[in-house]
Structure 1
Amino acid sequence: MTTQQAPIGSGFEAASTTDDVIAGLDLTGKVAIVTGGYSGLGIETVRVLLKAGANVIVPTRNRAKAEAALAGLPDAELMDLDLSDPASIDAFATAFLAKDLPLHMLINNAAVMASPLMRDGRGNEMQFSTNHLGHFQLTLRLWPALIRAKGARVVAVSSRGHRYSPVHLDDPNFLHREYDPWQAYGQSKTANALFAMALDKRGEAENIRAFSLHPGGILATNLSRHMSAEALQATGYIADDGSPIIDPATGKKTLQQGAATTIWCATNPMLAGKGGVYCEDCDISPLVSADDESLGFYVPGVWPWAVDADQAEKLWALSEEMTGVVLKG
């Protein structure tokens, strides 16, 4: 059953925090994997899931960095993973599946943003590779554990940056067009949303539901490491003294506000029986027209190209081709 891309009156708002949305929920016995869980929004996501009683596994490409970042969260379990390396993804999935655990929450949070042109070992553009293809392969490899949960959610952390670009199915790797870091980022974030839509269609019969989301503009994290001080200032998210501007009404959020929608998508009972939708501000986002010039960048809403079912299916087929990974029950 297709879930309507429209708000459901969650009772939360842009300023709601992770502690607000997790209040009263007991996740004891639940297992979660949070990619990118040792930086920025990921750390806050891990903290709140642990607080609610979940067992949380954090994949890490840099164990020393992860151990330092999560020193205050000693219950988080670390496992090695490089999302740009297919062999590493397979090794991680094999190691996790060997635990014979259910996987109740897979939160695909890790991301690269606005990086210079880089390519992975197979020649794929790095933002598309890390943000989309790596998570595509990881999710499909972990499918048996998601089925074992008998009620699982996959959460793809997308972005309002999906508005920068649709997925160029004929040239996702910028082989035949000039590379632009923000176009590449936008393409990868649109891919996150389309992936959640196609995944939800395939998982519904097994009660595996998928959601994508925009967390808000939180640039004072490692995600903005490829941006100069001048570029950060130009975004309107950073004050003259270099501190982040906090204004949830225009999407400028704290880490606790930004990770709230991730936690809401992963845990909230109101989403039972729903899936395949793009969310923001702890609710399902409205669908807005990309042609409406009255809509500024800060106005909430998902553009049609990020929730197009036909495009989602085409991206799924392309992703299978690019990774060589096919979903198995």
Structure 2
Amino acid sequence: MTTAQAPIGSGFKAASTTNDVINGQDLTGKVAIVTGGYSGLGVETVRVFLKAGAQVIVPTRDRARAEKALAEVPGAELMDLDLMNPASIDAFADAFLASGRPLHVLVNNAAVMASPLLRDDRGNEAQFSTNHLGHFQLTMRLWPALCKAKGARVVAVSSRGHRYAPVDLEDPNFNNRDYDPWKSYGQSKTANALFALALDQRGKAHNVRAFSLHPGGILATNLSRHMSAEALQATGFVAKDGSPIIDPETGKKTLEQGAATTVWCATSPQLNGMGGVYCEDCDISPVVSADAETVGVFFPGVWPWACDPHQAEKLWQLSEKMTGVSFPAS
């Protein structure tokens, strides 16, 4: 049964925190992987999972930085991973699979935003490579462990930034069009949502469900490293002194509020038997009307192009071609 892209009345609000949504849940015996788990929202997600009793693995490109970031969040297991390097993804997955552990929760959280034009070793544009293709390959390679959990969730951290652009299926790498860092970011975030939709269709028969989400506008993190102080202030999310402006009703959230929807998607029993939907503010998001496409990026809701099953299937086929990794036949 297809889950409707419509709110379910979860009872949580924009200001709900990770502690609110994890309250009463015991993750003892569960295993989780959180990419980008040593920065911003990722650290908060790791903290909450550990506090609830889960075993948490944090992939890292920079072990020293990860150790420093997680110094006050003891208990996470670090493993080397570079999402722009296919060989590194395979090595990480092989090492995890060799441990024999099931994987109950995979949070594809790592991201780059509005970066200058860069390419990976295969020539893929960096934002599409890191935010989508790397996570696509990682998820496919970890598929046996997800199935082994006999009840797993894959959570793709998207963004309202998906409104900046759909996925250009003909030219995702900006080979034949002018590079725009925000359109690149937008298409990668649209890809996150479409990936979760297509993955859920394939995974539900194996009791693996997938979700995507918008965490909130938390720009005062490492994600905004490619933005100038002036650009950050112009967003309305950062004050003149560089401090974050907090107003959850307009999407301006603390880390605890921002990571709440990730934790809700990963663990909430309210979502049992559901999947393939885009969420925000700890609930399933409504679809923005097609005739409202002039509405600003901070208006609640998911754009039609980010929840289109036909586009999701086209992106899936393109992703298999670009990565050389396919969904297991059985």
TM-score by length of 1: 0.99
Deviation by residue 1:77-119 (Cα, 9 ceiling, x = unmatched): 0000000000000000000000110100000000000000000
Match of 2:151 in 1: 151
Contact 2:161–2:297 (8 Å) recurs in 1: no
Deviation at 1:295, TM superposition (A): 3.6
Matches within 5 A, 1:6-17: 6-17=6-17
Contact 2:289–2:304 (8 Å) recurs in 1: yes
Deviation at 1:296, TM superposition (A): 3.4
Deviation at 1:293, TM superposition (A): 5.7
Match of 1:111 in 2: 111
Deviation at 1:161, TM superposition (A): 0.1
DSSP 3-state at the match of 1:129: helix
Deviation at 1:241, TM superposition (A): 1.5
Q: What letter matches 2:239 in structure 1?
A: A
Structure 2, unaligned runs of 5 or more: none
Equivalent-residue separation in structure 1 for 2:200 and 2:42 (angstroms): 23
Deviation by residue 1:203-258 (Cα, 9 ceiling, x = unmatched): 00011000000000000000000001111111110112211000000100000000
Q: What letter matches 2:241 in structure 1?
A: D
Match of 1:232 in 2: 232
Q: How many residues align?
A: 329
Deviation at 1:291, TM superposition (A): 2.8
Q: What letter matches 2:317 in structure 1?
A: A
Deviation at 1:290, TM superposition (A): 4.2
Structure 1, unaligned runs of 5 or more: none
Matches within 5 A, 1:308-323: 308-323=308-323
Equivalent-residue separation in structure 2 for 1:290 and 1:254 (angstroms): 30
Match of 2:175 in 1: 175
Q: What letter matches 1:66 in structure 2?
A: A
Equivalent-residue separation in structure 2 for 1:23 and 1:300 (angstroms): 26
TM-score by length of 2: 0.99
Equivalent-residue separation in structure 2 for 1:240 and 1:57 (angstroms): 37
Contact 2:217–2:252 (8 Å) recurs in 1: yes
Matches within 5 A, 1:127-146: 127-146=127-146
Cα gap change, 1:198/1:224 in structure 2, threshold over 3 Å: closer, same or farther? same
Deviation at 1:325, TM superposition (A): 0.3
Match of 1:264 in 2: 264
Superposition RMSD on alpha carbons, in Å?
0.8
Question: Percent identity, aligned pairs only?
Answer: 80
Match of 1:28 in 2: 28
Matches within 5 A, 1:201-220: 201-220=201-220
Equivalent-residue separation in structure 1 for 2:229 and 2:299 (angstroms): 25
Which shifted more, 238-247 or 136-145?
238-247
Matches within 5 A, 1:52-67: 52-67=52-67
Q: Deviation above 3 Å: which 4+ runs of structure 1?
A: 293-296
Equivalent-residue separation in structure 2 for 1:301 and 1:111 (angstroms): 21
Deviation by residue 1:155-175 (Cα, 9 ceiling, x = unmatched): 000000000000000000000
Match of 2:90 in 1: 90
Which shifted more, 300-309 or 237-246?
237-246
